Amino acid sequence: MSETPGAIPTLEDLETQLGDLSGKRVLVRTDFNVPLDDDGEIVDDFRIRAALPTIEWLTERGAVAVTASHLGRPKGAPDPKYSMDAVRARLDELSPGVELLENLRFDPGETANDPAFVAELVDGIDAYVNDAFGASHRAHASIVGPPQFVPSAMGRLLQKEVEVLLGLRNKPKHPFVAVLGGAKISDKLGVVEALLDVVDSLVIGGAMCFTFFAAQGKPIGDSLFEPDQVDTCKRLLGEAGAKGKTIHLPDDITGTTADGEYATFGTRLPDGAKGFDIGPGSAAAFTDVIMDARMVFWNGPMGMFEDERFASGTRTVAQAMADTKAFTVVGGGDSAAALAQFKLDDEVDHVSNGDLPGLEALRHGMKGS
């Protein structure tokens, strides 16, 4: 989360750069990924209405807004199920005369960030506005392409969301919960330490929990852990207590026995056993913590989710991230991959893999400018 809204051009900056906007064709990347029912009717037009402040700002200045969005998950080819027709009709009621391109994901060039598709998108376009926060973590053609070729800015909605995100970082909502897992234990202990001051509780799964179990003197069998970090974990457990913070560790584990058989354990693993996932009881307990939070940061899978036998802890936590009313932020390459694998990446508020490619593209703008 390193976004600085000040460094990203706003609509006002765009006007300063272009002067008179009247007659200018402005490509607006919106998030019109609205829920549709079985008959293709829009269930909730919130995302369309949310784009109106940007669209109206442009049309009030005489600009022609050409909107573009993805809808659902077509497989890089036209699919009538995901046609923009219903969205176009609703948009025309809300803001007559605004153009809307066909579903961006009907073209395989969108997700592939194909330069030929970018060229098609900016053809005849004078400026670009990104108002699709939910898509800005993806290096897709419509997100990162146009800023390289035409003057670009963030729309009102994107601006608001970036500000909210920064506000939450500086002034988190409580309960603020950090859910940590994954394999890179020593990397993340630094994060744990830093988070301990801002969060109300830490939820720990993945291979990371075994270093904590070892710190508690529990047998962990042959599970992955980092012996040289055991003392750090002991200290963190003590510090958390002193600061009134809760560290939630799993109370059951799934993995393999010494014979390589799939098994469920408590928190004391027999000799030769390996823990590869949090157990169902822990997954349910972690879900409760996430559901009760107002802000959740998640980094690191709860288990070796690449193996379906050990994916359920990560899937359950991902589902809780999707279901909770809390503001949800997911960081880390493998965590983002897990979310995408479970098709829940559109259900969290923010997926951060370092900087957002969409914001990065706006910040850098056209080559040589």
Question: Residues 306, 340, 343, 366: which binds ligand ADP (CB under 6 A)?
Answer: 306
- Tell whether residue 354 is a contact of Mg ion (CB under 5 A): no
Stretch that binds ligand ADP, among 17-25, 51-59, 136-144, 299-307 (CB under 6 A): 299-307
For residues 172 and 200, is the Cβ–Cβ distance under 8 A?
A: no
For residues 212 and 247, is the Cβ–Cβ distance under 8 A?
A: yes
- Tell whether residue 334 is a contact of Mg ion (CB under 5 A): yes
- Tell whether residue 338 is a contact of Mg ion (CB under 5 A): no
Looking at residue 206, its amino acid is G
Stretch that binds ligand ADP, among 95-103, 132-140, 239-247, 296-304 (CB under 6 A): 296-304
Q: How far apart are CA 83 and CA 103, in angstroms?
A: 6
Relative to beta strand 262-265, strand 253-256 is antiparallel
Q: How far apart are CA 134 and CA 158, in angstroms?
A: 9
For Cα atoms 158, 31, 13, give the angle at the middle one, nearest 5 degrees.
Answer: 35
- Tell whether residue 275 is a contact of ligand ADP (CB under 6 A): yes
- Tell whether residue 332 is a contact of ligand ADP (CB under 6 A): yes
CA distances to 23, 121, 304, 347, 355 from 339, in Å: 42, 29, 14, 9, 18
Within 18-47, which residues bind ligand ADP (CB under 6 A)? none
For residues 282 and 294, is the Cβ–Cβ distance under 8 A?
A: no
- Tell whether residue 276 is a contact of ligand ADP (CB under 6 A): yes
Nearer to Mg ion, 83 or 353 (CB): 353
Sheet strands (E) in 85-139: 99-100, 127-130
Binding mask 95-134 for ligand ADP (x = CB under 6 A): ----------------------------------------
C-alpha dihedral over 73, 353, 194, 241, to 10 degrees? 30
- Tell whether residue 206 is a contact of Mg ion (CB under 5 A): no
Nearer to ligand ADP, 67 or 211 (CB): 211
- Tell whether residue 333 is a contact of Mg ion (CB under 5 A): yes
For Cα atoms 270, 313, 215, give the angle at the middle one, nearest 5 degrees.
Answer: 45
Stretch that binds ligand ADP, among 40-48, 102-110, 284-292, 303-311 (CB under 6 A): 303-311
- Tell whether residue 219 is a contact of Mg ion (CB under 5 A): no
- Nearest distance in Å: CB 258, ligand ADP: 16
Q: Which two tokens stand for residue 177?
A: 């919960």
Within 175-214, which residues bind ligand ADP (CB under 6 A)? 181-184, 206-207
Within 216-255, which residues bind ligand ADP (CB under 6 A)? 224
For residues 305 and 315, is the Cβ–Cβ distance under 8 A?
A: yes
| Residues within the interface to ligand ADP (CB under 6 A) | 181-184, 206-207, 224, 275-276, 299-301, 303-304, 306, 332-335
